[in-house]
Amino acid sequence: MTKITVAKGDGIGPEIMDTTLEILMAAGAKIEVEEIEVGEKVYLAGNTAGIAKESWDVIRRNKIFLKAPITTPQGGGYKSLNVTTRKFLGLYSNVRPCMSLHPFVATKHPIMDVVIVRENEEDLYAGIEHQQTDEVVQCLKLISRPGCEKIVRYAFEYAKHYGRKKVTCFTKDNIMKQTDGLFHQVFDEIAREYPEIENEHWIIDIGAAKMADTPEAFDVIVMPNLYGDVLSDVAAQIAGSVGLAGSANIGEECAMFEAIHGSAPRRAGQNMANPSGLLQGAIMMLNHIGQTKIAEKIQNAWLKTIEDGIHTYDVYKEGVSQEKVGTKEFAQAVIANLGQEPKLLKSVTYAENAALNLPKYERKAPAKKELVGVDLFVHWAGKNPDELAAIVKTLDTNEVKLSMITNRGIKVWPEGFEETFCTDHWRCRFKPTEGNQMNKHSIINLLNEAIQQGVDTIKTENLYTFDGKMGFSLGQGQ
Ligand code: NAD
Q: Verify that 62 and 178 share a domain, yes or no.
A: no
Using the mean position of ligand 1's atoms as its centre, give its distance from the Cα of residue 236 in Å: 14
Ligand 1 binding pocket includes 233 (Cβ within 6 Å): no
Farthest-apart Cα atoms in the chain, separation = 83
End-to-end CA distance of the chain: 62
Which of 239, 270, 303 terminates a domain? The answer is: 239
Ligand 1 binding pocket includes 74 (Cβ within 6 Å): no
- What range defines the domain where residue 41 resides? 1-90+253-350
Using the mean position of ligand 1's atoms as its centre, give its distance from the Cα of residue 253 in Å: 28
State which amino acid sits at residue 376: L
Q: Verify that 221 and 127 share a domain, yes or no.
A: yes
Q: Verify that 342 and 396 share a domain, yes or no.
A: no
Alpha carbon 44 to its chain's center = 28
Residue 342 in domain: yes
Q: What 8-state DSSP symbol labels residue 124?
A: G
Residue 132 in domain: yes
Using the mean position of ligand 1's atoms as its centre, give its distance from the Cα of residue 267 in Å: 9
Output the tens digit of pLDDT for each of the chain's 478 residues.
999 999 999 999 999 999 999 999 999 999 999 999 999 999 988 888 899 999 999 999 999 999 999 998 887 778 888 888 988 899 999 999 999 999 999 898 999 999 999 999 999 988 899 999 999 999 999 999 999 999 999 999 999 999 999 999 999 999 999 999 999 999 999 999 999 999 999 999 999 999 999 999 999 999 999 999 999 999 999 998 788 999 999 999 999 999 999 999 999 999 999 999 999 999 999 999 999 999 999 999 999 999 999 999 999 999 999 999 999 999 999 999 999 999 999 999 998 876 788 888 899 999 999 999 999 999 999 999 999 999 999 999 989 999 999 999 999 999 999 999 999 999 999 999 999 999 999 999 999 999 999 999 999 999 999 999 999 998 887 7
Residue 27 in domain: yes
Q: In this structure, are residues 143 and 182 in contact, taking their beta carbons and an 8 Å threshold?
A: yes
Residue 393 in domain: yes
* Measured distance CA(118)–CA(246) in Å, rounded: 14
| The 3-state secondary structure of 199-220, one letter per residue | EEEEEHHHHHHHHHHCHHHCCE
Q: Which residue's alpha carbon is at the smallest distance from atom 25 of ligand 1? A: 264
Q: What 3-state class would DSSP assign to 353?
A: coil
Q: Verify that 13 and 83 share a domain, yes or no.
A: yes
Q: Which residue's alpha carbon is at the smallest distance from atom 41 of ligand 1? A: 69
261 CA closest ligand 1 atom index: 2
Give the per-residue pLDDT at 166: 98
Q: In this structure, are residues 163 and 194 in contact, taking their beta carbons and an 8 Å threshold?
A: no
How many independent structural domains does the chain possess?
3
Q: Verify that 116 and 229 share a domain, yes or no.
A: yes
Q: Verify that 440 and 342 share a domain, yes or no.
A: no
pTM of this structure: 0.94
- Cβ burial, residue 32 (10 Å; 0-12/13-18/19+): exposed
Summarised one tens digit per residue, pLDDT across range 401-426 is: 999 999 999 999 999 999 999 999 99
Residue 396 in domain: yes
CATH code: domain of residue 452: 3.30.70.1570
Which of 204, 239, 274 terminates a domain? The answer is: 239
Question: Taking Cα atoms as reference points, which of 297, 322, 298 lies closest to residue 19?
Answer: 298
Summarised one tens digit per residue, pLDDT across range 25-82 is: 999 999 999 999 999 999 988 888 899 999 999 999 999 999 999 998 887 778 888 8
Q: Verify that 199 and 79 share a domain, yes or no.
A: no
CATH code: domain of residue 323: 3.40.718.10
Residue 356 in domain: no
Residue 361 in domain: no
Q: Verify that 36 and 137 share a domain, yes or no.
A: no
278 CA closest ligand 1 atom index: 18
Residue 33 in domain: yes
* Measured distance CA(99)–CA(347) in Å, rounded: 13
Q: Verify that 296 and 232 share a domain, yes or no.
A: no
Q: Verify that 197 and 303 share a domain, yes or no.
A: no
73 CA closest ligand 1 atom index: 32
Using the mean position of ligand 1's atoms as its centre, give its distance from the Cα of residue 8 in Å: 14
**Residue 288 φ/ψ, nearest 5 degrees:** -65, -35
Ligand 1 binding pocket includes 258 (Cβ within 6 Å): yes
Q: What 3-state class would DSSP assign to 407?
A: strand
C-beta atoms surrounding 213 within 10 Å: 11
Select from 263, 266, 280 the residue to mutate for testing ligand 1; criterion: most ligand atoms less than 8 Å from CB.
Answer: 263
Summarised one tens digit per residue, pLDDT across range 392-403 is: 999 999 899 999
Q: Verify that 190 and 121 share a domain, yes or no.
A: yes
Ligand 1 binding pocket includes 274 (Cβ within 6 Å): yes
Q: Verify that 465 and 410 share a domain, yes or no.
A: yes
Using the mean position of ligand 1's atoms as its centre, give its distance from the Cα of residue 263 in Å: 4
Which of 211, 239, 267 terminates a domain? The answer is: 239
16 CA closest ligand 1 atom index: 18
Using the mean position of ligand 1's atoms as its centre, give its distance from the Cα of residue 30 in Å: 29
Q: CA torsion, points 33, 36, 41, 45, in degrees to nearest 10?
A: 170
